Chain A
Amino acid sequence: MDVNEIRHMDHDKKKKIGLLMGILCALYWGVWYVPGYTIYQSPLVGDVYGNMLEAGAGEDLALVFQALFLTFINAAACAILLFVWNGGLGKTRELARTFVQFRAVTKYYVVAGICGAIAVSGTYIAALFLSPGFAAVAGLLYPIVGTIMSVLYLKQKVSKRAYYAVIVLVAGGITLYGGSIIADPSIQIYGLIGGLMAAFGWGFEGVAAAKALDLTEPDIGIHLRFIFEALFWTVVMIVIFACGFPIFDTISWLFDPTTFLMVLMIGLSFAWCYVSWYKSFPMIGLARGQAIGSLYAAFGVIFLCIFLGPAEGLKYTDDTMAMIVGSTILGLIICLFGAYLLATEDSEEMASIRDGD
C-alpha cells in the first residue's frame, strides 16, 4: 500500500468517525426524551408545580419554573458525570489547563453554556405550552442557524451536497411532526418563544463551541460548557428562591433510588449526546455535524414509541392516527435520505473543513 492510499483511508476513517459521532449524538439525544419525559412523574420535578402554585405563582409561571428546575437538574447531573468521563480518559489536568485560559478560549464556552441553557429551557417551555412535537420541530431549525453562521463567521467551507443534506434533514424532521401539528394547530405565544429559543440557542451554541474547539479537546470543551450552564442555572435557582418561591423543596427526592436512577439516566444520555456532538464538529464540520445530529428527532420518535407505546409516543387518537403515523413514516424516510446524502459524500471533500494554504 502506498502513502496516498493510506492517506485516503485516513480521510475516510475521519469522515466515518465524524458521522458516527453525529449518529451517536442523535441516538443519545433521542433516548434522553424517555427519562426526560418520565421524570415529570417523579416528585422531584412533578411536585415543583404544586409548590410554586402554593407559593403564589400563576399557572404559567409555575410551569416555567418547573421546566427551569428540570433544566438545572439536567445540567448539574451532566457536569458531575463528566468528571467521571474525563477522569477515566486521563484528561483532568488538560481540563484545568484549559479552564484557566479564560481570555483565549474558555470565554467561548461561557457563551456556549448560556446559549445551550436558553435552548434546552426553550424546548421544555415549547413542549409544555404547545406540544412536544412542536418543540422538536422548532429545535430542528437549529442546523440552519448553525450552517449560516459556520460559513459567515467561522469561515468553514460547506459543500453543495452538505447544503442539500442540511435542507433534506430539516425537512424530514419537520415532516416527522407535521401530522401532530396539523392535528392540533393551537399556537400559544410562550410556546413559540420557547421554540425560537431552542433554534437560535443551539445554533449559536454550536458556533461558539466550534470557535473554541479549534484549540481545545472536545471532551474538555463540553465539560466546561456544562460547568458554566450548571453555574448559570444555580444562580437562576437562587434568584427564584430569594424571590420567595421554595424551588429547592423537592431536592431531597434525589436520595430516592428510582428518582436517582432517572436523574442518572438523564445525565448520562445528555452528557454523552453532547460529547459526541462536539466530537463530530472537528471531523466533519459544524454544518454536517449539526445536520446529522438533527436525526435526534427521528430517534426520539422511535424510542418514545418503543418505551411508551405508539399511541402515547406519537399522541394520536383514532381520528388523527392515519395522518400522524403517515407523516411520521414519511419523515423518517426523508431523514434516512438526508443521512444517505452525507454518508456517501466524498471524504476528500471534508479532508479539511477550511481552505488551508
Chain B
Amino acid sequence: MKMMENTPVKFRILELLEDGPKRTDEICFKLCKEYKGYDNDYGRGMIKFDCIEMASYGLISAGEAVIDEEGILDKGKLLTMYSLTSYGSDYLEYLKQTVKPQKV
C-alpha cells in the first residue's frame, strides 16, 4: 500500500526508493502521474530538483549514472540511479509513524 500517497513529494520519493534503487526518469515519470499538475516538463523538473536536494541532504545517494542521449527527461544531462541511505531509511520509518494518511 502506498502510505505516502498525496503527501509532500519528497515523502513519496523516500517511499518509492524503499523497494530498491531507481533512476531519475523512473522516479519523475511515475510521480508526475500521481500528483495533479506535475505531468509536464516543469513538474518533472521540480521532482528532479527534489531528488537533487535530497541527495545533497544525504537522504538518498546518487549511484551509477548514464547520459540521457535520447532526451527521455533532459537531453545531454545525467540519469542517475538513486538509492536510500541509512539516514533516509530512518527518516522513512519516522514518517511512517507520524504521517497523517490523506484521502486521495
Would A3 and B66 be within 8 Å (CB), given that A353-B57, A357-B86 are in contact?
A: yes
Task: Flag whether A104 is at the interface (Cβ < 8 A).
Answer: yes
Name the distance in Å between A235's Cβ and chain B's nearest Cβ.
25
Chain A residues contacting B52 (CB-CB under 8 Å) are 10, 14
Chain A residues contacting B6 (CB-CB under 8 Å) are 97
Mask of B40-65 contacts with A, CB within 8 angstroms, 1/0: 00110000001011111111011001
Interface stretch (choices A118-126, A213-221, A250-258): A213-221
Q: What class of interface size applies to chain A in its complex with B?
A: 20 to 34
B61 touches A98 (CB 8 A): no
Would A3 and B91 be within 8 Å (CB), given that A94-B9, A217-B50 are in contact?
A: no
B86 touches A98 (CB 8 A): no
Q: What class of interface size applies to chain B in its complex with A?
A: 35 or more
SS class of chain A's interface: helix, strand, loop or mixed?
helix
Mask of A1-19 contacts with B, CB within 8 angstroms, 1/0: 1010011001000100000
Chain A residue nearest to B88 in the complex (CB): A356
Of the candidates A7, A93, A103, A354, the one whose C-beta lies within 8 Å of that of B57 is: A354
Task: Flag whether A282 is at the interface (Cβ < 8 A).
Answer: yes
B67 touches A100 (CB 8 A): no
B61 touches A94 (CB 8 A): no
Within 8 A of B (CB), among A88-110: 90, 93-94, 97-98, 100-105
Chain B residues contacting A105 (CB-CB under 8 Å) are 8
In the bound complex, CA of A330 to CA of B21 (Å):
52
Interface hub of A3, A6, A214 (most chain B Cβ within 10 A): A214
In the bound complex, CA of A353 to CA of B56 (Å):
6
Chain A residues contacting B78 (CB-CB under 8 Å) are 3, 6-7, 10
Q: Which residues of B contact A (CB under 8 A)?
A: 6-11, 14, 35-37, 42-43, 50, 52-59, 61-62, 65-67, 77-78, 85-87, 91, 94-95, 98-100, 102
The 4 closest A-B pairs by CB, nearest first: A354-B58, A282-B53, A104-B98, A103-B98
Excluding A215-B11, A220-B8, A283-B53, 16 further A-B contacts by CB distance (< 8 Å) are: A3-B78, A10-B52, A97-B7, A98-B8, A214-B54, A214-B59, A215-B59, A217-B8, A282-B57, A351-B56, A352-B55, A352-B57, A354-B57, A354-B87, A357-B61, A357-B85
Q: Which residues of A contact B (CB under 8 A)?
A: 1, 3, 6-7, 10, 14, 90, 93-94, 97-98, 100-105, 213-217, 220, 282-283, 350-357
